[in-house]
A and B are shown apart, each in its own frame.
Chain A
Amino acid sequence: MAVESEHWVFYFDPNRCIGCHACSVSCKQFHGRGSDTDDWRTVTHHQKGTYPDVEDVPLSMSCMHCHDAPCEKVCPTNAIEKRESDGIVTINRDDCIGCKYCGWACPFGAPVYGDDGLMSKCNMCLGRGPGGGADVEDTPKHELEDQVEPNCVSDCVGEAIKAGPQKEIIEEASQAAAERFRSGAVANGRVIVEPLQDSTSAVDGSVGGTKEVTTPYNAGD
């Protein structure tokens, strides 16, 4: 198994996120998913304070392709696979029985339950559409031929999201973000997040926890 540092991770910089939802829209378009289906990538807006002392911070989240992948562990049919080569977590829909365990286990509400009775989620654009990527050979994404950059990354207006092997992404991150990631302080070490500048708000802290990050409208249930 490839070491964790070779595994793909997402990076998010809330300082550059302008809350425009382009990432979310582009994800759905790329994967040919209807407007009314739940988002694989969600943007939420976290507000606190009273006018004029208001803070309103946007957060863009998707499946984190966790190193410890709780969803994979609970899946009774082994439909969920964490790829050894690049750590991308895929769902094989032939084996999915729609029991929603992964949705409950996932701290981010990333797997979503579809009208077809099956789960689906972000596959880092390893393949297209629900279940995409499950049949792709287990060679690191960056070594596969004809692979595209995750669509949310290439369409992010604020250039707030990045994705790639952890050791590369961490090099591009600020020292503070890298340290927080290594110490597991942010989202249990699942996503590299830049600290929110000029802010000591609870909103920033919430990225480190898992509570507010769970996106209410696309949780597994």
Chain B
Amino acid sequence: MAHGVTNREVMAIMESLCDTMEKEKDYLSELDGAIGDGDHGVNMAKCFREVRKKLPESRDKNVGAILRSVGMVVLNSVGGAMGALYGTFFLRLAQEAGEKPEIDLGDLVRMFQAAEKGILDIGKAHVGDKTLIDTLSPAVRALEKAAQQGKSLSDAMSDFEKAAKRGMESTRDLVARIGRASRLGERTKGHLDAGAASCYFILRAFSEGMKQAG
């Protein structure tokens, strides 16, 4: 690996994440509308508009501080299960990144493992329940594997993104077993889970940003 990922690159990733949520607002709400109440896109967009407002304050801070600030905004802006889950996600990334000025692939593996654990602890969902975990867990496994195989940061992030996408797609055929959609049982089959989709967009933003850095 040429070099690690710097705070400036993490800032760029956060900015692209804000853009993505704005762009995918209607798509995410449409997915949610099929088996939920249809506001996932708007809530994510609203949340990341708040993130965007706060981002300039983190401009010259370290990676952990940037992610911590994002996590606090996500946790406390729009609420909902997604606020708690994604808030925890960013806060755990931040905790693991600590005060490092730069992060490498090994750091990323630990960061995403910590984020996954945080989400599992608070959300109590498992792979196969038709939630964002179906996107996140396979992505983290792919990242671990790529690191063990000594792949470059860029290749590892490609594996990460592909696994996330496959994971998201897998929710189409699943019956929701947790959350509000679970009350609909079999009626949830045939629809992508909105949380799995928004999680994919988040992970894709990391992957694309890291690939540019690596």
Report if A and B associate in a common complex: no
Chain B interface (Cβ < 8 Å from any Cβ of A): none
